[in-house]
Amino acid sequence: MMAMAMGIVQQQVVPVSAGALRKEFKVLHMKTDENVNEYFSRTLTIANKMKANGEDKGNTAIVEKILRSMTPKFNYVMCSIEESKDIDTLTIDELQSSLIVHEQRMSLHVEQEQVLKITHGDHSGGRGPGRANYRGRGRGRNRRFFDKAIVEC
């Protein structure tokens, strides 16, 4: 009663079954429009809920899950991480920082490609439509003469 009078509202914690959390962790995958930080946040939230319910996944299981459930654009990154580092000793923070660096590199390449498309555009090098195809405006301009002897009737 005193808490309500002081304006403090207690939140009810809805218990989540351990089975539902296990299933959520099992089907967890990175979305195509999701960045690395968002995916790690979602994954660690589920792992922390499981830990609060008494089921600790452990660092290695979480790292393996993240590596298996990334989008295909990270396939080559995941392979290089698995080959160069020991997965059993790899921390979640190390994995996250490695993936963020690769994500930033990929976004930099995409930005550079877009800049190149804008600067080069669709220029054919001519002045206006029909340049150098001998079908310009009017008669007699840029007209190619052809040998009528080759024409068969």
pLDDT digits (tens, 9 = 90+) for 103-149: 998 888 777 777 666 665 555 555 555 555 555 555 655 556 666 77
pLDDT digits (tens, 9 = 90+) for 26-41: 999 999 999 999 999 9
CA-based angle 111:115:116, to the nearest 5? Answer: 115
In this prediction, residues 58-84 reach a mean pLDDT of 91
In this prediction, residues 2-16 reach a mean pLDDT of 57
pLDDT digits (tens, 9 = 90+) for 77-109: 888 888 888 888 999 999 999 999 999 988 887
User: DSSP readout, 52-87?
Assistant: HTT----HHHHHHHHHHTS-GGGHHHHHHHHHHS-T
Give the whole-number percent of the chain exceeding pLDDT 70: 65
pLDDT given for residue 35 in this prediction: 93
- Does domain 16-119 fall under CATH 3.30.70? My reply is no
* Contact predicate 34/19, CB 8 Å: no
pLDDT band with cut points at 50, 70 and 90 for residue 24: very high
CA-CA-CA-CA torsion sign (40, 45, 49, 54): positive
In whole angstroms, what is the distance from residue 72 CA to residue 114 CA?
22
* Residue with the two structure tokens 């930033």: 104
What is the CB-side half-sphere exposure of residue 143 using CA atoms within 13 A? 7
Write down the domain spans for the chain: 16-119
pLDDT given for residue 109 in this prediction: 74
Q: What is the pTM of this model?
A: 0.61
Q: Which of 14, 15, 13, 21 is nearest to 47 (CA)?
A: 21
